Every structure is written in structure tokens, then in C-alpha cells.
Structure 1
């Protein structure tokens, strides 16, 4: 299988003390979750009608948390797909699933490789076997040569994801700001400012998780803000509350057991 830029794949097993709810955070990726043992039970916060209880779930870019209910144990495989990887793997731009929770049958017309994936995963015994099953499927997906994200737009998204201002990203690739906004929305389902905001939040979440897994029980959010592109800790806290529904300290208290248990569905 040739590499798929912008794709992150991992198998997860998280054993917790009791049933609960994991808060999946917004991010600049499309998330494909393939659970084992029990279907994934997920809904957008505040929207019970959005609830999905299935063996496969795809969540598009979103600006609200996904609430993932569990019985104290979660196991499966997760793929995080950048806009370019979404085209290569699912055969559609990320905008096609923006703000949505969909299941694999909704995507089979463009991604037939997904049809038997849950069954083949159910027969796997170890995390390594799970990853190998998904990689075999991905090889079939990328062999289809779906239309790629235009190179200039891909570079603009890279710059926005790294913290560049919208005007600077547009100038770097030779677009007007209006043209860039139109193209980013058509590709991702969100405007450039929102895409950059999601990327910055994702960098902050990763920084917090890294600190927790290295042994820190109380990460310094001022330090996280400084290294991930926020003006200050207050700015980080406002953004976190707006997009996650909790200030970062409260989110960390709720998620701390899950973070210690290892990678879990991101939402």
C-alpha cells in the first residue's frame, strides 16, 4: 500500500472503572471509527435526534462535541482523515460529511472497500491484526485514484493548519481571500477561519494529552496556549469552552481516566 498523506490510523483498547461518556472534540479531520465488541453509541451534544448506534461511524468536521457513551470498555480502530486523505479513502471531499454523523452504508457508493470491513475486523484477534485488516482495505481504496485535492488548495490548508492567517495563506498560493474562502468551504465544509480554529484546538488537545501521558496530572494551560498559537490562556479557555462545551480544566477532569487508558475514539 502506498502511503496516504494526512491519514492517522490506530487500534485502541480502553478499560475504565465504570460506564460513562467520552467527549469527542472537534478537529480539522474526518473521523472513521470501527468499534469492536459493541456498537459505537454517539450523538452531537444537545441533539439527541443525531444519535447513531452502529458498528461504523464517520463524523465530519464539526464545531461541537460528540458524546460517546460506553459501558466501561472501548475497543476498535480509528482513522483520522485530512481533507486530502478523505478524498483518497472515502472518495468524497470532507465537505460531503461536514457536521454529520453517518455510517458506512451511506458511503459505499464511493468507497466499496468498506463493505465487509466490520466483519473482517470482528475476526481479528490482536491490535496488530486489526491494523493489518484496515491497511489491506486502504490499499484497495487508494488504488481507485479518486480526484485529488488541488495542490494549491492543499498547501493553503496546510498553512492554515499550521497557524497561518487567512490572508497570508491566500497570498502564498496566489488566491484572493474570497477565492480561498470559497474553495476551503467547498473542500471541508467550513470556512478558512473555522478550519484554522479547529486545527489550533487540535494542537492544544494533543499538547495536553502528551503532557498527561508523560506523567503530568495538572498540565500548565498557559504553557499549552503559548506553544499552540493562542494569544494567552484566557483565549485558549474561551475557544475550548465554545467548541468543547467545557473549560479545559473541567474537560481534563472528566477525560483524565480515558486519557490514561490510551487512545480512544476522538469523535
Structure 2
């Protein structure tokens, strides 16, 4: 893991707390690239609280987004209940939390996190408080996310939760920000990159994660990340 970036499991089930030091000037490339993962993040940087919606493609960090940052990465389907907004309204967007919650409340929260000895811990406490005040995540939404993350097909997932294709698509837009096919594709990419980064050859990675072949994997990586798979692997 980069010395500029660290993460740990959150006290909020399924979430991850992360922090990133201020990065240097942007030069493009994988170092400044945020890959789609089906998640929504609650973000802090000094003086600001934001939400990063579910990405459908890679997001390149710009000069104003280079840190330092702390974040709570919420698992697929968890954020709409916490934020009170359907995930599709946040897709491919970075928005101020004050656009989603009362502005006075957000100003108070921001000041407290700015003054905290560890902003990441304070941000996690905010996420836990939002979760305590929210409705629990629908078990069906969790079941869909878990099935797709495990590599089950969209058809098999729909059957397992008792939904038709249109119902599953509609529920997925609200919970995840995009339809189940897109979410399945993004989660498959994440599984493939995790395997490849552990040292598994790309041809074997493709076979083990459900791609037709290595060329299929290469096309998917380029379409979702905007660069070849080899550029995303350790050198």
C-alpha cells in the first residue's frame, strides 16, 4: 500500500475508513486514478464535507482534489439510507454534503472534524451517527450486492431474490446508482484486479473471474479505467 494512502475496516459494517496525504501535482496516469467500485464515499478535506457518488468510469483526480483527505467508503447499496437520496442522483458526481443535508448541520460537522486530532476517526463517527438515524439497509439490496460480488449472473441473482428483470433494474438504480449489469461488470473488474495484483497472470485471472479470455478482460479494463491493465498493476 502506498505510504500516502492507508485504510482499515470501519466500525460501520462493510465500510472502510481511509486517509490520503496531500499528493503532488497531477500528471495523469494510474497514480491519480479512482477506479469504479460500486461504492459511495463520505469525504472530508479541510473545510469541506463531500460525497463521491458511484462511478461508472474511472475518475481522474484534479489539482483541487489532491488532498489531504479522509473518507468512509460505504459498501454498495448502503449510502442512500444514510444520505436520504437515491444513488442514481449521485452517479459520476462529487457533491457537497450541504446539498444533501441541512447546511447549518454540515457546517457544524465540518468544524468539528477540522478540529479533531484524527479527522478520519471523526468522519467515521459522523457516518456511524448518520447510520444510527437511518433506516436499515434493505436485506434484499444486500443480497443483490453480495450475489453480484460473488460473480453470480444477473439472471441468477434476480431469481434468487424473487424479482423480475425490470424490478431488479429499478431497485438497483436506487440502491447502487446503475443497473445490475453495470454493477456486476464493475465488481468483476475489481475481483480481476485484486487477483492480478496478487501475482496471478492475466490469462488465468480472466478465466477465474468469468471473462471469455484475456482480450475480453483487457477491453473491459480499458473501457472502465481508460488505460491498459498492465498500467494498474505493481511494477
TM range (shorter): 0.7 to 0.9
Count of residues in Structure 1 that have an aligned counterpart in Structure 2 = 223
1:20 maps onto 2:15 in alignment? no
Q: What is the rounded CA distance, in whole Å, between the counterparts of 1:112 and 1:168 in structure 2?
A: 45
Note closer, same or farther for the CA distance 1:229–1:77 as it changes in structure 2 (3 Å cut). Answer: farther
**Change over 3 Å in CA distance of 1:173–1:13 after alignment to 2:** same
Are the aligned partners of 1:204 and 1:224 in contact in 2 as well (CA < 8 Å)?
Answer: yes
Q: Using CA pairs under 8 Å that are at least 6 residues apart, name the structure with larger relative contact order, 1 or 2.
A: 1
Pick closer, same or farther for the CA change 1:147–1:165 going to 2, 3 Å. Answer: same
1-structure distance, mates of 2:141, 2:113: 35
Match of 2:187 among 179, 190, 199: 199
| 1:59 matched to 2:52 | yes
Q: Give the equivalent residue in structure 2 for 1:116.
A: 108
1:104 aligned residue: 97
Superposed displacement of residue 246, structure 1: 0.9
| SS of residue matched to 1:99 | coil
Cα distance, 1:77 vs structure 2: 0.8
Deviations 1:95-126 (A, max 9, x none): 231232211221214x986443433333344x
The answer to whether the 8 Å contact 2:154/2:180 transfers is yes
Is the 8 Å Cα contact of residues 57 and 101 (structure 1) preserved in structure 2? yes
Match of 1:8 in 2: 16
* Residue in structure 2 matched with residue 80 of structure 1 by the alignment: 73
Structure 1: which 5+ runs fail to align? 40-54, 257-267
Q: CA deviation at 1:236?
A: 1.3
CA contact (8 A) 1:203 1:228 kept: yes
Change (3 A) 1:170 1:237: same
Contact 1:31 1:60 in 2 (8 A): yes
Partner of 1:140: 129
The reply on whether 1:170 has 2:162 as its aligned counterpart is no
| Structure 2 length-normalised TM | 0.79
Residue range with higher mean Cα deviation, 164-173 or 130-139: 130-139
Deviation, structure 1 residue 8: 1.4
The 8 Å contact of residues 6 and 84 in structure 1, kept in 2 or not, is answered as no
Q: SS of the counterpart of 1:9? A: strand
For residues 175 and 189 of structure 2, what CA distance do their matches in structure 1 show? 20
Q: Is the 8 A contact 1:86 1:94 kept in 2?
A: yes
Aligned with 2:83 (options 74, 85, 90): 90
Cα 1:237/1:133, change in 2 over 3 Å: same
User: What CA distance in whole angstroms lies between the structure 1 residues aligned with 2:143 and 2:107?
Assistant: 32
* Contiguous gaps of at least 5 residues in structure 2: 1-9
Contact kept in structure 1, 2:26 and 2:61, CA below 8 Å:
no
Contact between 2:44 and 2:123, CA under 8 Å: does it hold in 1?
Answer: no
> SS state of the match for residue 143, structure 1?
helix
Aligned mates of 1:173, 1:93 — CA distance in 2: 20
